Structure 1
Amino acid sequence: IHDQARRPQKSHLLVFGAQRELATYAYDLQVLLDAVEKAGGLAFIAHPVDPAAPSVNQGDISWVDWNVRGFTGLELWNGFSEFKPRIKSMLHAIYYAYFPQRIARGPHPEALRRWDELLASGKKVVAVGGSDAHSHHMRLGPLRRTVFPYEFHFRAINTHVFVPRPLGTDAASDTSMILDALRQGHCFIGYDLPFPTRGFTLTAHGMQQTAQMGDEVDCKGGVTFKIRLPRRTECVLLKDGKPVRTWRNRDLCTYITTEPGVYRMEAYIHYLGRRRGWIYSNPVYVN
């Protein structure tokens, strides 16, 4: 949802679970966010950093008002937004249209910085990833190409959710369960094209409880982080946006702390000759 009368276009919002049309509130971002909350929906800032690509007449459609309140989270990694900075010329656009698997490298550094800044301010902000799939049909002289076909995009940057039971009970119950997992931050971003990210877990074990991503845990007596990766690779644990431990060529990682803070992890994988972002967890909040 965005204010279609605004020029230049900015500040898109992803809304889930509201069960009603909310576009009429888009003239004011805070009014829109308040309406989403009232409707019981989730609101995610879409492609918060989305730079221009003048060579293909695409403008900057980043988020502009960071003083608003009430959003659930933000779209940390957006596939189409990452594509735009790669297009330095029409030749680049043609190249990546035919080799889209070479585009993704990770979330925009400014998006990561903004997320860590929000978390450091005491807010709980859930990160999700999205393909922003449009399946554009490109024509340039004799060239015909579907840029980012859906079947490609949906195998690339995805949001994986942790739910308490398998899907299949009924559509309404399953939908509610998935939305609740997103609301709580029980999810992570996975770039599944190089290697499936299914099987990744990050848990924090305290004296009284075990926390998963999105949860809080008491640091009294110490907290043990356990990270399980689907394959051996590079893994970085961050506290308040700063790396505190890096592991290389590991699929199981353990870290013990007594310090409060916001802890999250990033994993990297080598694919097509380049180190690329692979997994970005949501935080565990250690109090």
Structure 2
Amino acid sequence: MYIYKGNIHIHTKYSDGTSSIEEIAKIAKKNNLDFIIINDHRHLLGKQRGLEGFYHDVLVLIGSEINLSKNHYLAIGIDEEIMRNEENPQEVIDEVNRQGGLGFIAHPFEKGSPLISNNKTYQWTDWDVAGFTGMEISNYSSQWRDGVRTTLQGLYANFINDQAYFNFPSKKAFDKWLELTKEKQVVGIVGSDAHAPILSKFYFSITVLSYNYLFKSANNYLYLKEPLAEDFVTAKKQVLNALKKGNLYISHDRKKQGDGLLTFLKDMSYKYIPGDRVKPGNYSLICQFKNNVPTKLRLKLYKDGIKIKEYPFPFREKIDFSYGTYHLVISRPNEDNWIILNPFYVWD
């Protein structure tokens, strides 16, 4: 099993970000990311200009963020631009699927801030849609903004305690994800929504939520069965396949980097990783780090959206898994959530 760390939902100069794709890839390399996914608004300009590929050993994939006023949808692995349709997001989802792409609902429950666009939000409003790959259960920029309600809070969060008003993940999004995965496979990811806006006044300027900051804050860790290929086409397929299946976990890296978490179910003949469908039965559940194990961690086990057990970490025991959807969450001392794994679907 191989683990690769990446950041999803990044904006560049081609929409409302502040850096080029190559500049962003350099920052990703400094933060030990293996891949990044660009989602500029409405178009695929970077891809059309041939800018997908490896930069400094970082795999760069280019998709888009579709829709403006509401129902934002992250499309990945598409080749043609897709027209916005806020009033009927099902048509957007269907077109992404027609192109063989993946799609993720973005910042579905953001609250907004009076400091930014007068509390303007871009929520997801249609939960009757079908066929989407997954959803952001945390959008780092959106949640950071949601917590900052006054200028004083903004200054405090930007210069003194960046976690003062931030919770991981979005509780509403996490609860919705638990609800949805009882009935269907829905991949949970974290999006950075990186724009790195530069605020200037007189001779003073600051970058808020810089690319460097966000790449250190929360990331997606993919499980691959083979090493990430050096060939771009093959590597792209590997990443998209892992995202499609939900073979991943997300980590609040601002608290502590989540590298090297090994998690699988094991029977006499096979290992199953998060996101897999398995038959009901008795399995060994292994959940541990490769090395540098943090102390006093707790492993929470959810079945069909309800927490049923909490264990000390690391964990290696046999458990009888009856029919249902099983989520695992790792918490640090005095914190609810640090690492959230995609579920095992015990359905077959």
**Normalising by the residue count of structure 2, what TM-score does the alignment of the two structures yield?**
0.74
Check conservation: 1:53, 1:59, Cα contact below 8 A.
yes
8 Å CA contact 2:70, 2:125 repeated in 1:
yes
Shift of 1:141: 6.2
Q: Which amino acid aligns with 2:192?
A: S
Give the match for residue 112 of structure 1. Answer: 174
**Is the CA contact (8 Å cut-off) linking 2:93 and 2:103 kept in structure 1?**
yes
Q: Which runs of 5+ in 1 are unaligned?
A: none
SS at match of 2:95: helix
Please name the residue that 1:183 is paired with.
244
Shift of 1:27: 5.8
Distance 2:127 2:136 in 1: 14
Other-structure match for 1:203: 264
Match of 1:75 in 2: 136
Q: Which moved more, 1:180-189 or 1:50-59?
A: 50-59
The RMSD of aligned alpha carbons is 2.1
Please say if 1:43 is aligned against 2:120.
no
Name the structure 1 match of 2:124.
Answer: 63
Alpha-carbon deviation of 1:276? 5.3
Equivalent residues of 2:330, 2:338 under 8 A apart: yes
Name the residue aligned to 2:7: none
- Distance in 2 (CA, whole Å) between partners of 1:255 and 1:58 is 49
Q: Does 1:126 align with 2:190?
A: no
The corresponding residue for 1:193 is 254
Alignment of 1:211-230 (within 5 A): 211-220=272-281, 222-229=282-289, 230=293
Structure 2 residue aligned with 1:165: 226
Other-structure match for 2:200:
139
Q: CA deviation at 1:193?
A: 2.5
1:234 maps to which residue? 298
- Quick check: 1:2–1:10 contact (8 Å CA) kept in 2? no
Query: How far does the alpha carbon of each residue in 1:150-173 deviate from its partner, in whole angstroms, 9 at most, with x for none?
Result: 111011111111112222431111
Q: State the match for 1:93 in structure 2.
A: 154
Q: CA deviation at 1:201?
A: 2.3
How far apart, in 2, do the equivalents of 1:153 and 1:194 lie? 12
Task: Report what 2:307 is aligned to.
Answer: 243
How far did residue 177 of structure 1 move? Answer: 0.7
Structure 1, residues 111-147: CA drift from partner, whole Å, max 9, x if none? 1111111112x21000011111111112356653111
Post-superposition offset of 1:277: 2.4
Choose the corresponding residue for 1:268, options 312, 331, 334: 331
C-alpha displacement at 1:224, in angstroms? 2.7
Measured at CA, do residues 196 and 255 of structure 1 come closer, stay the same or move farther in structure 2, by a change above 3 Å? farther
Inter-CA distance 14–78: structure 2 relative to 1 (3 Å threshold): same
8 Å CA contact retained: 1:105, 1:276: no
Deviation at 1:200, TM superposition (A): 0.9
Q: Are residues 1:259 and 2:333 paired?
A: no
Q: Which runs of 5+ in 2 are unaligned?
A: 1-64
Q: Match for 1:46: what amino acid?
A: A
**Quick check: 1:206–1:219 contact (8 Å CA) kept in 2?**
no
**3-state SS of 1:65 partner:** coil
Deviations 1:225-248, CA, capped at 9 Å, x for gaps: 221144231221111111122124
Question: Alpha carbons of 1:231 and 1:145: their partners in 2 closer, same or farther (altered >3 Å)?
Answer: same
Do the aligned residues in 1 keep the contact of 2:109 with 2:123 (CA within 8 Å)? yes
Contact 2:187 2:243 in 1 (8 A): yes
Q: How many residues align?
A: 277
Percent identity between matched residues is: 27
